[in-house]
Amino acid sequence: MNNLLETPIEYLKGVGPQRGDLLRKEMGIFKYGDLINLYPNRYIDRTRYYKINELQDTTAEVQVVGKIIHLKTVEFAKGKSRLVATFTDDTGQMELVWFQGQKWIRESVKLNIPYVVFGKTNSFNTMFSMAHPEMELLTEHEQNLRSAMQPVYPSTEKLVQRGITNKAVNKMMMQLFTETQALFTETLPGYILEELKLIPKNAALFNIHFPKSQELLLKAQFRLKFEELFFIQLQLITKNLIRKHKIKGHPFDKVGVNFTEFYNHHLPFDLTGAQKKVLREIRNDLGSNAQMNRLLQGDVGSGKTIVALMSMLLALDNGFQSCLMAPTEILANQHFYGITELAKPLNLNIKLLTGSTKTKERNIIHEELENGSLDILIGTHALLEDKVQFKNLGFAIIDEQHRFGVEQRSKLWKKNDIPPHILVMTATPIPRTLAMSLYGDLDISIIDELPPGRKPIQTVHRYDSNRLKVWRFLKDEIAKGRQIYIVYPLIQESEKMDYKDLMDGYEGISRDFPLPQYAVSIVHGKMKAAEKDAEMKRFSEGKTNIMVATTVIEVGVNVPNASVMIIESAERFGLSQLHQLRGRVGRGAEQSYCILMTGQKLSHDSKTRMETMVRTNDGFEIAEVDLKLRGPGDIMGKQQSGVLNLQIADLVKDKEILLLARHHALKLLKEDASMEKPEHQTLRRVFIELSKKKNIWNYIS
């Protein structure tokens, strides 16, 4: 049966070459199987037939049974007319109106014969009218393969313009079910269907397109969502298992002098319980024969850098080089200074390679990498250039990996015959459901406590009308010797306006905090790199009290003495950005503050964002709220947004189904990793088919 699903879509009766071409280009529908998996967005309840005297002013679509008793053309402007039909039932009358296609309607409509009309109604002087209704003779309406709940399919403007309306798609779907006799192969093992009381594949597909009732629709949705997530989890977990068995890593079996010397004598502070736990997980991975692929999540300031350095020291103790790749020069510089400072007592050879590195310095780096005298290389995309060849790269760290494309990451792998161990770090907390789907083939470690002595940042929301009070508070903080960030939004689309806001703000602040008592720095994207660095330096050396900036400071500035972060027009920032900006303060032992400034008028989502920021400092909780507000696509950014083009499941709403699917996938693979058992034969076939597709999950890690 399933071979039939491979049939090109143009062979379906009623499609043909032209429509087939449109469906391919607009919706990615190439064959019968793709059409079956085009699931409706929503359903219109057509169980109810209204009488004309029951109609009300709502935006809902309704259906009415009645007869057309009269047709007339009404001129309403120069050269413009509409066709109006008087439609009656036993309770009253209403009008049906057409502005287009009048000739065709006039010729095809039959008077005094029962029709079912469907559409949105408008009322004028107590008379209801329906424009461009869907119409069907009552006799045909009763015979059609249709359901009480009418599906509304995803579409595009082009499809509708070219006549492939929802009704047309509905017709194609009916034709497809007629041609295939609705015999779809069951894909899940019987024992899972029984245990979870899932309806069979056949019934699920039929009821997703032509639901007989609300209850059957819910069962169909549950079954298909479970199946989709179950196969993704099977793929991800299998990938992880295969990598652990097949891809050999360098075993780092000894803990040598660099690691112990640093741990015993040079740690700047005691490690937190969370840092120790993560280091244990990394050491276990490195000690096994498999290649490590681990995701390390931790909020801004949770101490990921020290974990990174200690892991690199383990590599060094086993005779291997390490590298750390960051998405921007600012971030690469920050890592370089942080790690060099920490490792100073160990006399290691650590170098920085970015787009700005001079040729002479580059040549030295290339030479030292190849002869093995360079221990740790930190840098940006520059590390991926073909010229950069290591003698023996054993450990690679990628910071904020969602900002690198997949091909870029795989280049790092190919620097050696045996791929290096990989540690991916992110300060963007990823909600658990997203992490399980996007990084389900990575092992995940989390640093979920801040270093001792750090006080939680106090966050408040203030309206622009409270500005005088806020400024008074800033003057008190400066008097205590503290420094302040004031950040303005900068969004590409409205760059000119934002730049003006920033400059107006800067001038206002310079007036309110005048020289010589106060000094104000400014940093924005239009400045040259050298000017930016000079301003940043003045601020970090304490020569200026206030740093006015656009979001360039989101990453890469570490000034422990800065204790107040003011975010202007905070309603224009996303939650994760607000949280990242807040993490720029609170790096010293003093109490720090984050003040969110907004206008009076806030949308519902903006209010939710402000309330969430004020309520919690927990990045994971914030990420969960962010996921609910924005959906998975936006959170992962451009490179990864196509990653989860799920057909029916939704990572936000179907969290429970995802957990259930992962649980059953793990259980199945534990008992039968190669899916060889008789009851897993079909499952295995489907699994192999899916793995061939260049779909999402083959590109994730």
Number of domains in the chain: 3
pLDDT value of position 695 = 47
Instruction: Find out whether 282 and 423 touch, Cβ atoms under 8 Å.
Output: yes
Q: How confident is the model at residue 592 (pLDDT cuts 50, 70, 90)?
A: very high
* Tokens standing for residue 191: 């024992």
Contacts 24+ apart (CB under 8 A), 639-643: 639/402, 639/403, 639/404, 639/405, 639/406, 640/402, 640/438, 642/696, 643/438, 643/696, 643/699, 643/700
* Integer CA distances (angstroms), 440 to 191, 235, 366, in order: 25, 9, 36
Would you say residue 635 lies in a domain? no
pLDDT value of position 230 = 95
* Integer CA distances (angstroms), 495 to 501, 502, 525, 550, 567, in order: 10, 10, 10, 11, 17
Would you say residue 172 lies in a domain? no
**Res 416 pLDDT > 80:** no
pLDDT value of position 407 = 64
* Tokens standing for residue 312: 């690199």
| Rounded Cα–Cα distance for residues 140 and 171 (Å) | 13
**Res 641 pLDDT > 90:** no
Instruction: Find out whether 205 and 176 touch, Cβ atoms under 8 Å.
Output: no
Would you say residue 644 lies in a domain? no
Would you say residue 202 lies in a domain? no
**Res 410 pLDDT > 50:** yes
Pair 265, 406 in one domain: yes
pLDDT value of position 429 = 76
| Rounded Cα–Cα distance for residues 589 and 377 (Å) | 31
CATH number of the domain residue 116 falls in:
2.40.50.140
Residue 223 vs residue 645, higher pLDDT: 223
| Rounded Cα–Cα distance for residues 513 and 548 (Å) | 12
| Rounded Cα–Cα distance for residues 167 and 14 (Å) | 12
pLDDT value of position 245 = 80
Q: What is the mean pLDDT of the chain?
A: 87
pLDDT value of position 205 = 94
Pair 544, 590 in one domain: yes
| Rounded Cα–Cα distance for residues 551 and 451 (Å) | 26
Would you say residue 376 lies in a domain? yes
pLDDT value of position 675 = 94
Q: How confident is the model at residue 534 (pLDDT cuts 50, 70, 90)?
A: confident
DSSP class of residue 585?
A: S
Pair 473, 422 in one domain: no
* Tokens standing for residue 525: 């994207």
Q: How confident is the model at residue 226 (pLDDT cuts 50, 70, 90)?
A: very high
User: Token match 């309206």: residue?
Assistant: 463
Shortest CA distance to 275 belongs to which of 445, 454, 401?
445
| Rounded Cα–Cα distance for residues 343 and 312 (Å) | 11
pLDDT value of position 540 = 87
Q: How confident is the model at residue 584 (pLDDT cuts 50, 70, 90)?
A: confident
**Res 428 pLDDT > 80:** no
Global pTM? 0.66
Domain's final residue, options 564, 594, 616: 616
Shortest CA distance to 158 belongs to which of 18, 278, 59, 327?
18
Lowest mean pLDDT among 131-140, 188-197, 420-429, 493-502: 493-502
Contacts 24+ apart (CB under 8 A), 217-223: 217/43, 217/149, 221/648, 222/198, 222/657, 223/198, 223/199
**Res 194 pLDDT > 80:** yes
Mean pLDDT value of segment 551-567: 76
Would you say residue 649 lies in a domain? no
Instruction: Find out whether 391 and 371 touch, Cβ atoms under 8 Å.
Output: yes
User: Token match 């041609």: residue?
Assistant: 179
What percentage of residues in the chain have a pLDDT greater than 90? Answer: 54
pLDDT value of position 200 = 95
CATH number of the domain residue 562 falls in:
3.40.50.300
**Res 242 pLDDT > 50:** yes
Would you say residue 466 lies in a domain? yes
SS3 149: strand
pLDDT value of position 244 = 78
Domain's final residue, options 113, 145, 177: 145
Pair 340, 420 in one domain: yes
Domain's final residue, options 91, 126, 145: 145
| Rounded Cα–Cα distance for residues 427 and 425 (Å) | 7
**Full domain range(s) for residue 274:** 257-287+303-426
pLDDT value of position 101 = 87
**Res 251 pLDDT > 50:** yes
C-alpha triplet 290, 293, 298: angle, nearest 5°? 140
Q: How confident is the model at residue 639 (pLDDT cuts 50, 70, 90)?
A: very low
pLDDT value of position 698 = 38
C-alpha triplet 350, 252, 320: angle, nearest 5°? 30
Would you say residue 275 lies in a domain? yes
Pair 358, 505 in one domain: no
pLDDT in tens, 135-159: 999 998 887 755 567 889 999 888 9
